[in-house]
Amino acid sequence: MTLDVARIRKDFPILERQVHEGTPLIYLDSANTSQKPRQVLDALADFYERHNANIHRATHQLGEEATQAYEGARVTVAGFIGAAEPAEVVFTKNVSEAINLVAYSMSNASAARSGGRFALGPGDEIVITEMEHHSNIVPWQLLCERTGATLRWFGVTPEGRLDTSNIDDLITERTKLVALTHQSNVLGTINPVRAIADRAHAAGALVLVDAAQSVPHMPVDVAALGADFLGFTGFLMHLLAYDLLSDLGQIGDQRGVQFLEFRPQHLLHETIGCLDHDGLTMHPPMTVWSQAVASA
């Protein structure tokens, strides 16, 4: 089947531009951010022109329509990545925020000194790799500074592959989290996430996967990867600027109890169950930022 490049270009209004004194625009930076096709731009305009309202708490017709569209997007995304249920999908602003959400939540759990698998302290370890984007390095460096935990690294071979030859030395009973990229944004290397996740879980550690590059470029089944958290981005997939943090449910079936132990950084309207003078109860954070409604 022949690829009709001219027809595909017509889907992207920005590619109608000419640059450098009449040269048709050719865009090769989709690994940084992708351009948006007319269908996405039209859907955004339709939302703001016909359905714009707060989700989950506006009881008028526009609120019902916005909520239905938003939750419909969550169902679509869950199916696209192979999540077991839509409740595993959390919308955030970008992958950096999704990773920071996990890091700050673990920091909060650590500060509470209540123990549990999300809390860290001196003697605990986080393992990352040398091929990570800054967004999957800096949050863990700062978390280790705050908690006294130690940051350890998988190296990279001269061929640009992840060096897993010392995996048993890196991932031990002291490991609380392993964070790694599925596909490197620099090398294009596809890492053996499932094998690393299995080793981490055997040691009792959590696994976070940065899938910002892999989900746009290949079929990804989040359950098959075996991660506890997986983040990817819409703006690298010709979509708008929303990102997703998929909590794959391996942290336990009692989502409410696990969520309370997790202690997320942000508590907004959608996470509040009941609030009174004596305290509050919380829902699992299916929505983190309401302003991402139209992007979803």
What residues does each domain of the chain span?
78-285
Q: How confident is the model at residue 194 (pLDDT cuts 50, 70, 90)?
A: very high
Phi-psi group of 252: left, alpha or beta (phi > 0 → left; psi -120 to 50 → alpha; rest → beta): left
Architecture of domain 78-285: 3-Layer(aba) Sandwich (3.40)
Q: How confident is the model at residue 284 (pLDDT cuts 50, 70, 90)?
A: low
Residue 126: the pLDDT is 98
Q: Which range has the worst mean pLDDT, 63-72, 126-135, 225-234?
A: 225-234
Q: Write the pLDDT tens digit of every residue in 21-39.
A: 899 999 998 877 889 999 9
Q: Is the pLDDT of residue 67 over 70?
A: yes
What share of the chain has pLDDT > 70, as a percent? Answer: 79
> 3-state SS string over the chain?
CCCCHHHHHHCCHHHHCEECCCEECCCCCCCCCCCCCHHHHHHHHHHHHHHCCCCCCCCCHHHHHHHHHHHHHHHHHHHHHCCCCHHHEEEECCHHHHHHHHHHHHHHHHHCCCCCCCCCCCCCEEEEECCCCHHHCHHHHHHHHHHCCEEEEEEECCCCCEECCCHHHHCCCCEEEEEEECECCCCCCECCHHHHHHHHHHCCCEEEEECCCHHHHCCCCHHHHCCCEEEEECCCCCCCCCEEEEECCCCCCCHHHHHHHHCCCCCCHHHEEEEECCEEEECCCCECCHHHCCCC
Residue 134: the pLDDT is 87
| 243 burial via Cβ count (<10 Å: 0-12, 13-18, 19+) | buried
Cβ-based neighbour number of residue 248 at 10 Å: 20
Q: Is the pLDDT of residue 46 over 90?
A: yes
